[in-house]
A and B are shown apart, each in its own frame.
Chain A
Amino acid sequence: MTVAPAAGAHSSAPAPATPVIDRRRARKRAAWRRRGTVLLFMSPWLAGFTIFFGYPLVMSAYLSFTHYDLLNPPRWVGLANYRYLLGTDAQVWPAIRNTLWLIAFMVPLQVMFAFGVAVMLTRAKRGVGFFRTVFYLPALIPPVAATLGFVYLLNPATGPINTLLGKIGITGPLWFNDPTWAKPSLVLLSLWGIGNTMIIFLAAVLDVPQHLYESAELDGAGAMQRLRWVTLPIISPVILFALVLAVIQGLQYFTQAYVAATVAGGSASQAGSQSNLEIGYPEGSTLFYPVLLYYQGFRFFNMGYASAMAMLLLVVAFAATLLILRNSKRWVHYQGAAR
């Protein structure tokens, strides 16, 4: 940012010694004004970051070494929470496995399916606008509503899907009520809502320069090969972006799992029959790490322990993102010239 011209313009006036000092002072003043402006503009985020990011992180770390149920003051327990977390708690490792399953299966499926649908849209010649709307709209639907809808649709006894399957002679699985099918059912639900990622891929694929395809065609490349050697490398930054986003969402996955488990397990319809409580219904298959954290912190009054869980989640989230970003240098191709 340049110094306001006014200060410099008048320095050709009579007193010869002061102009240099004046200019320096003026520049200093301008610099302070600049810093002031930056500070002013950044102030909302600075305050927000401190209050809603910095402070909770520090507090979370502190609480993770205490036993705290909010009704009594925190009681220091040292590493007891971490020892329980990494050693004794029988629910933590299944929860971690479930979340890792999401990262390993749901994330790639989401990205591939979004890409596939986007490519399909580019090939369509008629009614593209209509199809695009159809594929995008479910992504806007509130997750609770979508989950409720799917739990009803996939009801093993009376749901429309199993009824339809029955008509063609297939006995449908138990979907959300079967531990082996519960997670795939959640994956189906998430695939229904990939509209956002799909649109991003669509824009990216449409952006690929046409001449690259033409030269590939001249070299004898078929449609599949053009996809593999032209489209994919060009849009690889977008693939990376979608992957990172999906992984972050997978590490926070809560709403759909919580709603599906409570509704399918029937405990949503009883005003607090606690001895019926079975988290991660069925058989713990939908117990993901964030869901367990919620139960520990806000149902079992174990806030110190929940903070320990939160610290572990933070480390994993950090590590995962770093891993992907570092790994990406190998296969992501940034178009230097095009940027």
Chain B
Amino acid sequence: MKRVATIVVVVAALTLLVAAVGGFTRGTARAGTSAGAQADASTVTIWVGWSARELGEFKKVVAEYDAKNPDVQVKVVGGINDDKIIAALRSGNGPDVVSSFTSSNVGLYCSSGGWVDLAPYLKQDKVDINQFPASTRYYTQYKGTRCALPLLADVYGFYYNKALFKKAGLNGPPKTLQQLTTYAKKLTVRNADGSFKVVGYDPEFGFYQNTSGAVQPLAAAKWFDANGKSSLSKDPAWSRLLTWQKNLVDYYGHDKLVRWQAGAGDEFSASHAFETGKLAMMMDGEWRVSFIAADHPDLQYATAPMPVDGTQPSLYGGGYINGTIIGIPKDGKNREAAWALVKYLTTNDHALAKFSNGIRNVPSTRTSSVSKELKPDPNFAIFSKIFLDPHSATTPITSAGAAYLDTFQSFLAQWQSGKAKNLHLGLVKVDKQIDAKLKQTGGGVP
């Protein structure tokens, strides 16, 4: 009798557990995807990369859309990154609308059909593609197939601490890289034990937003030549950039910089090195303006375009552009409703201005970037100017995504630590590796 009772209890418990799990996995699979939306045709699920405060701002914009369109309910899922997007494309369990922080994988999305071609929708609704500036048009398509639209842009510029500048007797921001080095040396303060109290400028790749893609516009260095082959060793601009960078790294000492970076505070936390006055100048995106306003409103700082290569002073005013892209995955269920939402988010001036005000990203259409609704902020206004500057550039799109950047980054790590001594030979090797990698993954630069 006892055995029967135990068996019954165990079976009951198992059934409950499996039911709970079934409910869980099915339920949560639904929650994040459009599968659950099948029953309710007016739900649109959208995946975005923002989280915390920025996600809240996005939700406010979406709430307005919901109010204007009572027959549609939009569900927002935040914290998405490209790995999740790609994984969802593979498993066929995706949302109706998806957006990504980086454009580097647009090549994969468009060429594989993972994100649907938007051309028919643009034509059907007579959307003027030229309202988006040229760079944003570039990084939302691949080889002619447009499978994404820009949703607010990210622009990189120069931040400097006015109080520290005054203390060091400096007036305006540096305009060339050589000036940047001079200023950095003046602004650096060391402690008694040799560690850094204030670092003027940290040029290490991998630190905060220092990426090879971000410094490329500063010397108009070419990634690929006319034949689509990697040209890092052929374009002298790269050597100039990297030599400048290494000289500044050596001034500090690579090991000492790494040590300082380890204690420098998380990039998106309130202990950010620039925001707490430990870093006098830095390159960062326009979103930093709202982070500072939220966490350290008393910080005396200003923004400007990044200093450029001394031999090409006319480049001054431009910067690196990238941006959030938004598209419709092929497994989404509500294509029409999804497109309506995408169109609203990307072309409606009011929505763009409101969102831009909220997270301080640059509005991605010409009209919205001069909209009267934008909250005036001298520090932020610089980025809108950089955005429209003709010298601004973005990273090339390949069908293999950003794998080539990873190859370059591996070399840069060796370069700045001093292990790779011959710059030219190293770059030649990287070129060969990038070409081989692109050939192996079957995709080149358009």
Contact = CB atoms under 8 A, between A and B. Distances in A.
Contacts of B51: 271
A273 B207 CA distance: 12
Contacts of A71: 89-90, 108, 112-114
Given A271-B79, A275-B212, A283-B417, A174 B262 contact: yes
Contact of A274 (B259, B405, B417, B433): B405
A75 B399 CA distance: 15
A326 B49 CA distance: 53
A265 B403 CA distance: 18
Nearest to A271: B81
A335 interface: no
A174 B413 contact: no
Which of B51, B102, B266, B441 has the most chain A CB within a 10 Å cutoff? B441
Which of B79, B207, B263 has the most chain A CB within a 10 Å cutoff? B263
A71 to B, nearest CB: 4
Contacts of B260: 157
Contacts of A149: none
A283 B80 CA distance: 27
A84 B89 CA distance: 27
A301 B401 contact: yes
Which of A72, A84, A273 has the most chain B CB within a 10 Å cutoff? A273
A317 to B, nearest CB: 25
Contacts of B112: 69, 71-72
Interface string B419-444: 10000000001000100110011100
A197 interface: no
A91 B102 contact: no
A183 interface: no
Given A270-B268, A278-B206, A80 B258 contact: no
B188 interface: no
Contacts of A90: 407, 410, 429, 433
B255 A178 contact: yes
Interface string B39-71: 000000000010100000000000000000000
Interface string A122-165: 00000000000000000000000000000000011110000000
Contact of A275 (B86, B104, B433): B104
A70 B108 CA distance: 11
Contact of A276 (B83, B211, B268): B211
Interface in B256-271: 258-264, 266-268
A281 B266 CA distance: 17
Contacts of A282: 258, 413, 417
Interface string A167-188: 0000000100111000000000
- A contact patch SS: loop
Contacts of A281: 206, 413
B154 to A, nearest CB: 10
A158 B262 contact: yes
Nearest to A267: B206
A299 B406 CA distance: 11
A301 B262 contact: no
Contacts, number: 145
A266 B267 contact: yes
Contacts of B291: none
A277 B258 contact: no
B395 A84 contact: no
Contacts of A67: 441-442
A327 B402 CA distance: 45
Given A157-B259, A301-B108, A271 B101 contact: yes
A318 interface: no
Contacts of A75: 442
Contact of A272 (B81, B400, B405): B81
B262 A274 contact: no
Contacts of A72: 112
Contacts of A284: 410, 413
A157 B278 CA distance: 14
A155 B262 contact: yes
Nearest to A80: B440
Given A157-B260, A271-B79, A272-B82, A305 B440 contact: yes
Given A275-B395, A278-B206, A283 B211 contact: no
Interface string B383-414: 00000000000010000111101110110011
A29 B263 CA distance: 76
Interface in A264-298: 264-266, 269-284, 298
Contacts of A299: 83
A93 to B, nearest CB: 12
8 contacts: A70-B90, A157-B261, A271-B79, A272-B101, A274-B405, A281-B413, A283-B410, A302-B441
Given A89-B436, A157-B259, 12 more contacts: A67-B442, A70-B90, A178-B258, A272-B81, A272-B102, A273-B211, A277-B402, A277-B405, A278-B406, A278-B409, A283-B419, A301-B401
Interface of B: 49, 51, 79-83, 86-87, 89-90, 100-102, 104-105, 108, 112-114, 195, 206-207, 209, 211-214, 255, 258-264, 266-268, 395, 400-403, 405-407, 409-410, 413-414, 417, 419, 429, 433, 436-437, 440-442
> What are the nearest 6 A-B pairs in CB distance?
A157-B263, A272-B81, A71-B112, A275-B211, A274-B402, A157-B262
Interface of A: 67, 69-72, 75, 80-81, 84, 88-91, 155-158, 174, 177-179, 264-266, 269-284, 298-302, 305
